[in-house]
Structure 1
Amino acid sequence: MSTQEVTQETQTGHEPTPVEPTQEPQNALTEKFTAEEWDALKAFRAKIPDVLASAYPDKIHSKTTAIKLWGVTIDPADLLDARVSVVLMKFLRARYLNVSEGKTMLISTLRWRDEFNVEAACNETYPQDVFGELGHISGRDKQGRPVVYNVYGGNQDLKAVFGDVQRFLRWRVAFMEKSIELLDFETNDQMIQVHDYLGVSMTSRDANSKNAASEASSIFSGHYPELLFKKYFINVPSYMTWIFWLFKPLLPSATLAKMSVVGSGASTIGKALLPEIDAKQLPKRYGGEADAF
């Protein structure tokens, strides 16, 4: 019987440690799972029928009916699929491989997607003059991950953007889902996000924008786990830098490791982004060579 070694880079920087061979369907991402992660995943799989029953209590045969999450079909009758393993692992990693807590998170996510009607939000048409400059997906990093830009100063008309908070949230979720479409869950399952605060000040925020930001943060932290590789905050006003450092001790180390606060100007931003993103993929406004937005 042929076997396949799954390896994990140790935190000490030593050579990869072999993990026990498995008969699991593999791809480039599952090959990086640790033995502990495989054990948690196998236990998690056994709970998927109950997850579906809890998420869709009013649907007949929910325990045995396949669903789609981020373009990946999760069929309780056939869970031995590498892409499914990658998706399920996200919920486990977000909860430190605690199977019970991962189950709770997945149930909550599936319920929210149903209640929010994510599919309808993705099919909705949003006014280009309001939202067109707020979000851009442009290029990929050196490892093939998509790069997503959130340009908070892209529209200074706050009433147009945030006057209807629920419309903003539908647009924001649809934009996130569009970003996820670029993940194949075979070679890449995360993205880089660049948050551009050029033109944003304390006085440019109103109650609606603050509520929208709070709700969006809750949605993404609760229902889009482990989809972020790195997050760069660029053109950050000095007061926001101060706030970041104030709350730095409260952030989990794993989250903090993904975040970088960068100054202003194409040269400064380029120095931070070019190690991850090739110049031909990075917009000129951020120190690259790409003719992008």
Structure 2
Amino acid sequence: MGKKDQAQKERERVQTVLELLKKQAPLTVKQEKFCSTVCVERFLKAKGDNVKKAAKQLRNCLAWRDSIGTDNLIADEFSAELAEGVAYVAGHDDELRPVVIFRIKQDYQKFNSQKLFTRLLVFTLEVAIQTMAKNVEQFVLLFDANFFRSASAFMNMLLATLKIISDYYPGRLYKAFVIDPPSLFSYLWKGMKPFVELSALTTVVSSLDYEESLEFNDFTSYPRAASMRFNHSSVLSSAKPGSCSSSRFSFTVSHHFDSLKPWYLSLTDTSASKVGPTNPSQNGFGPSISPINGRSLSFASPVARGPRGNFDAGRKGFFPSTPMPQKTQKLDPSMIRHPRTPKPSFLQSPALFFRKDYQVTRGEKSRESFVPFLKFYRRPYDEMIYRSKMKPPLGGLISIISPQLKRRHMSISQRF
């Protein structure tokens, strides 16, 4: 009975909100269609089930939609933005939520009015809502701030976007990610965060943290990673790739890049100038490359610096022995200080990362939360794919004519 009573109360609240709206002014057919039960429940949830506040916000939303002209938005108005991929729906995540990407340049607001930016934002959000499944009500926003040099300019754009979503699209935002903002943005965001309603759903991430991601590590798509690979064309044709020789030793570079040791020392010296005897049978020495002549003399042992003769003779007579001074003081065993175990540091040990009860930091949580949407951020933009997601009337003339062309093509093909 508890769930039934709660559902009954929710239906009563929805009816009360609709009655308050109709008392102020009659609703049009499109407004009644917009004010569905699910829509009114989202406004009630945003205002803590307060009927009067939810009705006031919903009335303001209806007036704002009429002023913007959401019913008259079509893709033909944003031909330049669609061609450049300024704002688009990249796809759907595992929960079928649409992922919206904004790649707005800083100069866009200089040459375009704030009203045009608002219309572009509303158009993109309306396309995302059209592509939602029946049981899906939220979307994900990715703000690519790579094209912004000014932190204040990007902050103004972000705050305006979050304000529109919180006031006129309550309960629609699942998560918002700010990717690669300007350097001073973090300080501005820290001061403005307590005053932003959707700040708890907004996360700032850096794309450099995902350069080493194994799942999306495609060297052909990212020149930054591709530049670290070995370029075969850089090797001159006259040179012999893979080997090098000197008067001391010769080494060979393996062509297998995945090998553990791509180089190794060879035991034969092919150079013209030799250091010492090179014949393995001469003077009882082994191969030409040895621990003695295979390294610099500055790091060699005193024996290696000696003449190449008898090692025993070098040990005995090359360096004269110096008598050590006699011990004149006896150490008291009680005065010897043994090393003590250091006190535990306030920094956590790396071993705690492998414990099950380890608390993940906030930065790691934000980084892990962005991983499912990384593929949408790195996926190249395709205008035709995005236009195919638009339904009339948002799709414009192309979305209206293309179904007719398909039906006509099918009717002609059926004749043969």
The count of residues paired between Structure 1 and Structure 2 equals 229
Structure 1 residue aligned with 2:41: 89
Q: 1:275 & 1:68 partners in 2: Cα distance? A: 39
Q: Please list, as runs of the form range in 1=range in 2, the aligned pairs for 1:85-234 lying within 5 A after superposition.
A: 85-122=37-74, 125-128=77-80, 132-153=84-105, 156-160=107-111, 162=112, 164-184=113-133, 186-202=134-150, 205=153, 210=156, 216-234=161-179
Q: 2:142 & 2:183 partners in 1: Cα distance? A: 18
Q: 1:39 & 1:200 partners in 2: Cα distance? A: 48
Q: CA deviation at 1:105?
A: 0.6
**Structure with greater proportional strand content:** 1
Is the contact between residue 148 and residue 194 of structure 1 (CA under 8 Å) also seen in structure 2?
A: yes
Q: 2:372 & 2:376 partners in 1: Cα distance? A: 13
Q: 2:31 & 2:74 partners in 1: Cα distance? A: 15
Gap change, CA 1:239 and 1:283, over 3 Å in 2: same
One-letter amino acid of the structure 1 residue matched with residue 182 of structure 2: P
> RMSD of the alignment, in Å?
3.4
Identical-residue share of aligned pairs (%): 19
Compare CA radii of gyration and give the structure with the larger one: 2
Deviations, residues 32-72 of structure 1 (Å, cap 9, x unaligned): xxx3x762442231331431453xx3xxxx36x54357xx5
Gap change, CA 1:251 and 1:197, over 3 Å in 2: same
- Return the match for 1:236 from 177, 181, 188: 181
Matched, 1:48 2:18: yes
Unaligned ranges ≥5, structure 2: 217-366, 383-416
Unaligned ranges ≥5, structure 1: 4-18, 23-34, 75-83
Q: CA deviation at 1:284?
A: 6.4
Q: Please list, as runs of the form range in 1=range in 2, the aligned pairs for 1:17-96 lying within 5 A after superposition.
A: 20-21=3-4, 35=6, 39-54=9-24, 57=25, 62=26, 66-68=29-31, 74=35, 84-96=36-48
TM-score, length basis structure 2: 0.48
Is the contact between residue 152 and residue 198 of structure 1 (CA under 8 Å) also seen in structure 2?
A: no
Q: CA deviation at 1:157?
A: 5.0
Is the contact between residue 262 and residue 272 of structure 1 (CA under 8 Å) also seen in structure 2?
A: no
TM-score, length basis structure 1: 0.65
Matched, 1:283 2:389: no
One-letter amino acid of the structure 1 residue matched with residue 86 of structure 2: L
Gap change, CA 1:129 and 1:20, over 3 Å in 2: closer
